[in-house]
Structure 1
Amino acid sequence: MNKVEKISKLVGKYFTAAIIFWVVFNYFLPKTSEWVVPNVSYLLGIIFFGMGLTLKLQDFERIAKKPFPVIAGTFAHYLIMPTIAWILCLIFQLKGATAAGVILVGSCPSGTSSSVMAYLAGGDVALDVSIETLSTLLAPIALPGLLLLFAGKYVDIPTFSLFLSTVKIVLVPILLGLLVHHLFKNRIEWVTRFLPLVSQLAILLIIGAVISANHADLMTTQTLLVIPVVMLHNLSGYGLGYVFSKLIRLRTPQRKAITFEVGMQDSSLGATLAMKYFVPAAAIPSTVFSIWHNISGSVLAVNWKNKTVNEKTKVIREDTKSIVD
């Protein structure tokens, strides 16, 4: 068991490097992940089942007791990210499946790695997890609706099919996981130790499948244009998320949580739905987002953590100086 936890922590520590390596590896050996392509929805279901196993009824009680920050953060997420995606598509004149892919990842719920970034940054992790949970539970309605609103002019949106798929891929596994946790409680605690590693491996496999399916189109001008679009999308999400949380006068730890919850997307869900309902090229923005938001999130979290440490050190020095004087 300890070995599994150590491996999980090691993979988590170098997860961004692992993603970059896996992308490069699959680019030069695309047949490696061909077998994954028809199975990406099952992998995502495993991730969400694991998420359900980690949830408790207390998580929903926490939302009920202090709903305003959770509802506000979820609202900000679904308002800011799809809107920015649509604006960037207009500015960069993206078309067809590429534009739909950018808007798709912008319409996804919050990314699971946001809670890790909030923890590292000294943010309100409970708030982060609550927003992540609520945004994920709302995904079956929010995601097809936002796609229809913003991406309808680029591609045909199979709204009802997207709704059903999101229910099957997201909602059903989460509810099953929650039910199993409720029924067996402490008896399944040992299983949760495996979940971070399982989720990380599943995400890597999904990314490999996207690279394999899009190998021939990865170096086109339209595809390369996705990189700056995704970077701007993510960074704008951080910035506007922080401004929004400041405007509604939340405390600093809560601002950090909402910043990550707004700016980080469940790109694995985006890639899976893109592969299922659109052409493979629509999954590229989600894959690029998966790589980039782990890099940017880590940098922001470390900077915030260092700033907090420096501020505490400064206060201690000033207090010590006043005592000496």
Structure 2
Amino acid sequence: MESSVLTELFLPLALAVIMFGMGLSLTLEDFKRILIYPKAVTLGLVNQLILLPLVAFFIAKLFQLPPELAVGLMILAACPGGATSNLITHLAKGDSALSITLTSFSSLITVITIPFLVNFSIVYFIPGGEEQKLEILGTVIAVLAITIIPVVIGMLVLRKAPGLAQLLENPFRKFSTIFFVIIVVAAFVKEKDNLVQFFIDAGPASLALNLATLGLGYGLSKLAGLDFKQRLTIAIESGIQNGTLGITIAATLIVNSVMTIPSAIYSLIMFGTAALIILLGNRR
């Protein structure tokens, strides 16, 4: 994706708005819950930070994705769940406190892990990929600036002016949805001539990744003896990714529109499976 107002300004700003909205519902207590749910939080983070990228790597190899789409899938797998997973958990009547805790910790940790995982993927899948590698420190600073800092500002607003935070939360949730839709549409429009082929190439792999991580999250949680709400929550946190961040990394930091496609396609697919999860959770 060529450098433009969309990639240099709108994408980072949109993501910052989304993360600020998430911060409006977070408190320091959310970070202390690891002491309350040690087994659930540990299992959720292992799924999110280790198993998800491994599954994405094997799916990219299994489906023989074109190099740039393979890297795009790995970029997505490197991202945390984001505010969307918290919303879906709430609607599915899962464990919202656990969801927020997992999102909080994974968002902090992936600031460090994203550049290393993405660089490995670029070098592995793309011949001569060293030329496109992310600069480690610059990427960490960029991800901090568009994710963690807006979340912290949102948390400060909630702490210092809870009335204002409550007033802003719903509008920012709506803005987040609008921004997300615009970002996905923009990614598709940019590659409209190749869209059908991209769906053929990346669609099955994206669906497989979504179903595999949802199933893995739920299955391992059941084996660990967690209750239904916690199993449902870990499945959601494993299978619902921050597609907006994935698109932003590919479009803004790597400046490659093809690498945005797996995140955009996955985002559409995950909302379909999320609807089924919400139905399942409400029936239980």
What TM-score do you get using the length of structure 2 for normalisation?
Answer: 0.89
Provide the residue aligned with 2:67 in structure 1.
Answer: 96
- Aligned pairs for 1:301-320 (under 5 A) are 301-306=278-283, 308=284
User: Structure 1 residues 188 and 252 mapped into 2: Cα distance closer, same or farther (>3 Å)?
Assistant: closer
Give the Å deviation of 1:147: 2.0
1:63 Cα deviation after fit: 3.0
> Of residues 198, 202, 206 in structure 2, which corresponds to 1:226?
202
Provide the C-alpha distance between the structure 2 equivalents of 1:146 and 1:260, rounded to a whole number of angstroms.
22
In 2: Cα distance, 1:51 partner to 1:227 partner: 29
CA distance in 2, matches of 1:72, 1:88: 22
Deviates more, 1:89-98 or 1:116-125: 116-125
Aligned equivalent of 2:11: 40
**Distance in 2, Cα, partners of 1:37 & 1:158:** 16
Kindly indicate whether the alpha-carbon contact (under 8 Å) linking 2:79 and 2:246 is maintained by their aligned counterparts in 1: yes
Tell me which of 155, 160, 185 is aligned to 1:208: 185
Matches of 1:144 and 1:37 in 2, distance apart?
18
Query: Are the aligned partners of 1:98 and 1:285 in contact in 2 as well (CA < 8 Å)?
Result: yes
* 1:37–1:213 Cα contact (<8 Å) kept: no
Match of 1:170 among 147, 162, 176: 147
Q: Does 1:67 align with 2:43?
A: no
Which has the greater radius of gyration? 1
Preserved contact between residue 37 and residue 210 of structure 1 (Cα < 8 Å): no
Q: Deviations over 1:215-257 (max 9, x none)?
A: 232233x552100010000000011111221222211110010
How big is each residue's C-alpha offset from its partner over 1:20-58, in whole Å with a ceiling of 9 and x where there is no partner?
xxxxxxxxxxxxxx8644421111011111111221122
Give the 3-state SS of the residue equivalent to 2:196 in structure 1: coil
Q: Percent identity?
A: 26
Shift in CA distance, 80/278, structure 1 to aligned 2, threshold 3 Å: farther
Partner of 2:29: 58
- Matching residue within 241, 251, 271 for 2:227: 251
**Local SS of the residue matching 2:225:** coil
Over 3 Å counting, the alpha-carbon distance change for 1:252 and 1:140 in structure 2 is same
Maintained 8 Å contact 1:49/1:174? yes
Alignment pair present for 1:110 and 2:67: no
1:183 is displaced (CA, Å) by 2.2
Structure 1 runs not aligned, ≥5 long: 1-33, 309-325
Measure, in 2, the Cα distance between the counterparts of 1:62 and 1:304. 23
Instruction: Supply the distance in 1 between the matched residues of 2:186 and 2:282 (Cα, whole angstroms).
Output: 35
Q: 2:256 aligns with which of 266, 279, 289?
A: 279
Unaligned runs of 5+ in 2: none
Aligned to 1:131: 102
Whether the 8 Å contact between 2:78 and 2:117 is mirrored in structure 1 is yes
Q: Which moved more, 1:69-78 or 1:287-296?
A: 69-78
Quick check: 1:97–1:278 contact (8 Å CA) kept in 2?
A: no
| Cα shift at 1:162 | 2.4
Q: Return the offset for 1:134.
A: 1.2
Q: Aligned partners of 2:224, 2:249: CA distance in 1, in Å? A: 34
More deviation in 152-161 or 204-213?
Answer: 152-161
Task: Report how far residue 167 of structure 1 moved.
Answer: 1.2
Q: Which SS does the other structure have where 1:109 is aligned?
A: coil
- Residues 1:263 and 2:234 aligned together: no
CA distance in 1, matches of 2:282, 2:140: 39
Does the 8 A contact of 2:86 with 2:96 survive in 1? yes
Q: 1:111 Cα deviation (Å)?
A: 3.9
Aligned residue number for residue 93 of structure 2:
122
State the TM-score, normalized to the length of structure 1.
Answer: 0.78
Are the counterparts in 2 of residues 101 and 274 from structure 1 also a CA contact under 8 Å? Answer: yes
